[in-house]
């Protein structure tokens, strides 16, 4: 198993910190067909989006962890966070658009100094709010009261945990992360999360710890519920299985471990037309920390903006219907969302 440095690509001035270098590395891999061709062959192309149903806000790259597979290249050294001004532009768009779901992600979104203000404003507009949480942030000093804050505001918590045991979790996310994650889950349970209450919904997210596809979501969810209850008396509502995208630090690991070609071959061979029809980019609009617009969080990290370019910033988005029917920017990384049972921020899609 190749070890990857546990720091951001940017902090190491890695060539892969450049999105062009990432796209070039993917372009060099011999694959049997391109993503758009695969879509066309199954009648699911060209890929277009409808009016957005989910507004995903990436409020910054700052994170207390430096996970080896992170597609954001987040970490404690990444200081880019969304400003209050940009959040206000997002809220104004949210009000105009009628989008009902706000999905807040990062980095560790809770480290944005205006995170709580943003959540309360979104809830004030009557929107459903999802927080993508790394769990350990709840064990830090300023995050101690977050479970109660989430519960008070009816925030859905979607929390990362690669495995219900420590070995794989710590291997991907850092030494001691599993133990702190379990402590955080117990506190979320204490605040009423994970007991089937729709206003206190707790979802766990697992990514494979290596170069393979995730297991069957339904089967794993039953096993995870049994094992987390038995081993740690922890409960949760649902498990999402998400495929690792071959970009950023995961791409670095694939290259370093000699797994890039075989992983891409696996993704391409596992192309599933049903997953192509359920792609999240069809109904999602992703906003970067600086207010720029993307079709998904992965395109955001590869700096592939929405088209047409006139709609590239949330401030300029006066008419939400202008986004309907737009052509989604695609690339080889998109095979990650259509492999096997499919993958999205909401788990399997097929």
Partner 1 sequence: MSEHYYDAHDLAKFPEIGKNCPELAAKFFDWYQAVFADGALSAREKSLIALAVAHAVQCPYCIDAYSKDCLGKGADLDQMTEAVHVAAAIRGGASLVHGVQMRGHATKIGM
Residue 208 sits in the site that holds partner 1 (CB under 8 A): yes
Q: Which is nearer to partner 1, 121 or 163 (CB)?
A: 163
Interacting span for partner 1 (CB under 8 A) from 7-15, 124-132, 206-214, 229-237:
206-214
Contacts of 296 (CB under 8 A, 6+ apart): 56, 280, 281, 284, 286
Residue 209 sits in the site that holds partner 1 (CB under 8 A): yes
Out of 199, 216, 256, 274, the only residue in the binding site for partner 1 (CB under 8 A) is: 216
Residue 243 sits in the site that holds partner 1 (CB under 8 A): no
Residue list 145-184, contact with partner 1 (CB under 8 A): 163, 165, 167-168
Query: Minimum Å distance from CB 220 to partner 1?
Result: 5
Q: Which is nearer to partner 1, 144 or 167 (CB)?
A: 167
Query: Minimum Å distance from CB 206 to partner 1?
Result: 7
Residue 210 sits in the site that holds partner 1 (CB under 8 A): yes
My answer on whether omega of the bond before 308 falls inside 30° of 0, hence cis, is yes
Residue 75 sits in the site that holds partner 1 (CB under 8 A): no
Closest CA to 8 of 107, 87, 93, 99: 107
Out of 109, 214, 288, 342, the only residue in the binding site for partner 1 (CB under 8 A) is: 214
Interacting span for partner 1 (CB under 8 A) from 15-23, 108-116, 128-136, 208-216:
208-216
Q: Which is nearer to partner 1, 215 or 273 (CB)?
A: 215
Contacts of 278 (CB under 8 A, 6+ apart): 342, 344, 349, 350
Asked whether the beta carbons of 301 and 333 are under 8 A apart, the reply is: no
Strand order in the sheet with 128-133: 238-241, 202-206, 156-160, 128-133, 101-105, 54-58, 284-287, 293-294
Contacts of 133 (CB under 8 A, 6+ apart): 108, 109, 110, 146, 157, 158, 159, 160
Beta bridge partner(s), residue 202: 157
Residues that bind partner 1 (CB under 8 A): 163, 165, 167-168, 206, 208-210, 212-216, 219-220, 222-223
């Amino acid at each position: 198993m190749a070890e990857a440095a546990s720091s951001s690509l940017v902090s190491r001035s890695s060539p892969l910190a450049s999105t062009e270098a990432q796209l070039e590395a993917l372009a060099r891999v011999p694959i049997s067909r391109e993503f758009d061709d695969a879509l066309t062959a199954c009648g699911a192309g060209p890929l277009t989006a409808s009016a957005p149903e989910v507004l995903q806000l990436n409020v910054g790259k700052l994170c207390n962890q430096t996970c080896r597979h992170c597609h954001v290249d987040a970490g404690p050294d990444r200081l880019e966070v969304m400003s209050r001004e940009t959040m206000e532009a997002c809220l104004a768009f949210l009000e105009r658009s009628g989008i009902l779901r706000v999905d807040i992600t990062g980095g560790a979104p809770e480290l944005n100094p205006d995170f709580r203000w943003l959540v309360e404003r979104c809830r004030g507009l009557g929107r459903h709010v999802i927080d993508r949480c790394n769990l350990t942030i709840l064990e830090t000093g300023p995050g101690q009261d977050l479970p109660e804050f989430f519960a008070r505001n009816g925030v859905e918590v979607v929390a990362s945990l690669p495995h219900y045991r420590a070995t794989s979790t710590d291997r991907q996310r850092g030494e001691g992360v599993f133990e702190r994650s379990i402590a955080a889950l117990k506190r979320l349970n204490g605040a009423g999360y994970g007991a089937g209450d729709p206003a206190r919904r707790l979802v766990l997210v697992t990514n494979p710890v290596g170069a393979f596809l995730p297991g069957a979501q339904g089967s794993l969810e039953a096993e995870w519920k049994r094992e987390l209850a038995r081993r740690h008396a922890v409960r949760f509502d649902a498990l999402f299985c998400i495929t690792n995208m071959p970009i950023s630090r995961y791409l670095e690991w694939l290259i370093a471990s000699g797994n890039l070609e075989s992983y891409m071959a696996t993704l391409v061979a596992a192309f599933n037309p049903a997953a192509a029809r359920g792609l999240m980019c069809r109904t999602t609009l992703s906003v970067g920390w600086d207010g720029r617009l993307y079709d998904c969080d992965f395109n955001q990290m590869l700096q592939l903006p929405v088209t047409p370019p006139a709609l590239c910033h949330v401030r300029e988005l006066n008419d939400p219907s202008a986004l309907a029917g737009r052509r989604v920017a695609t690339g080889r990384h998109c095979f990650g969302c259509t492999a096997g049972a499919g993958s999205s921020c909401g788990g399997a899609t097929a």
